Amino acid sequence: MTDIIRLLPDAIANQIAAGEVVQRPASVVKELLENSVDAKSTSIQLIIREAGKSLVQVIDDGMGMSETDARMSFERHATSKIRTSDDLFSIRTLGFRGEALASIAAVAQVELRTRRSSDELGSLIRVEASQIKVQEATASLPGTNLSVKNLFFNVPARRNFLRSNAVEMRHVLDEFQRVALANPEISFALYHNDAEVYNLPAGKLSHRIVSIFGKNYREQLAPCQEETPFVKVTGYIGKPEFARKTRGEQFFFVNNRYVRHNYLHHAVMSAFEGLLPDDSYPFYVLFIEIDPVHIDINVHPTKTEIKFDDERSVYAIVLASVRKALGSHNIAPSLDFG
Ligand code: ADP
Ligand code: MG
């Protein structure tokens, strides 16, 4: 009998990995926006067509890539963000798995234009279903311009599984809002089918909240601030009267990464106990800063889950910060919108 186990070709391995990382157009939006943030951009534009089904394009003014790096960026497990296993315990960037571009390029038609400001010429690369179709030098602006066309064009089962444009666009907006909230010092714009949806100037967090959610939030926010040697909490909560029946405007960012965390959500809810109408949820945007040795974000490929080594302490500090904000908002309600 002959041996029967074979190593899969890269294109198939990438397509399998894509199953976890790329579920829908919004997953592409998240990965590309995070790459632009990691590249130290000051201005990021997101251009969407058909809720991202036919086009997700991100243009940034970040550090760009060399010719070789541009090609390497589509290899699986290829990253500039970590080098050793020790680095896994000190992650400051949003990415580190080196999987996103390889996965996206396995299930779409991708065009990358990129240039470092120190290089005279930039690079253009077209990849389709993991096959490099074009690679050439080209004139381009400093930064990176990456288009993802016809997501799942080669995976009909996935393409058919996509929901209506309205539903997919809701997911795109969620991802966009999370990244825009986490990075108020970066300007963001979003265009859908040529119409401007958001144009967010760089500024303070309070301004970013108001420009995303609306002017009526201005009077409703109370600042949060609490610090111990172990963890720092900052951000804003909505006043209890402002609570809504629907969930969705609750945001935790741990070291600038959006995460879902039921246990910490519970901490906020406990602080609000007795102040909210039944079945309603307060608005909050809370940033938790903690030494990365105390967290593990390598729980799931999408990295929206996180483990703290001392969850209870973080819970206590979040609870205390929200209590304090609630206690003082009547006395000092207004924000500095200067
Ligand atoms: P990861 O972000 O986990 O490193 P990705 O597949 O998302 O993996 O990206 C691979 C690499 O390509 C990154 O490590 C980075 O060096 C480079 N890269 C991707 N997007 C950009 C960008 N917008 N600007 C500059 N470099 C980028
Ligand atoms: Mg990435």
**Span(s) in the chain for CATH 3.30.565.10:** 10-200
Ligand 1 pocket check for 103: Cβ under 6 Å: no
Q: Give the atom of ligand 1 at the shortest distance from the alpha carbon of 60.
A: 23
Residue 79's contacts (CB-CB under 8 Å, 6 or more residues apart) are: 95, 96, 97, 98
With a cut of 90, say whether residue 338 has pLDDT above it: no
Q: What's the ipTM? A: 0.99
Ligand nearest to the CA of 297: 1
> Which CATH architecture group holds 10-200?
2-Layer Sandwich (3.30)
Q: Provide the pLDDT for residue 161.
A: 92
Ligand nearest to the CA of 144: 1
Ligand nearest to the CA of 97: 1
Ligand 1 pocket check for 31: Cβ under 6 Å: yes
Q: Provide the pLDDT for residue 337.
A: 44
Ligand 1 pocket check for 142: Cβ under 6 Å: no
Helix ranges (DSSP H) in the chain: 10-21, 25-38, 67-72, 100-106, 156-161, 165-182, 205-213, 262-271, 311-328
Protein residues with C-beta less than 5 angstroms from the ion ligand 2: 35, 95, 100
- What confidence tens digit (pLDDT) does each residue in 39-50 have? 999 999 999 999
**Span(s) in the chain for CATH 3.30.230.10:** 215-328
> Which CATH architecture group holds 215-328?
2-Layer Sandwich (3.30)
User: Whose CA is closest to atom 7 on ligand 1?
Assistant: 100
Ligand 1 pocket check for 110: Cβ under 6 Å: no
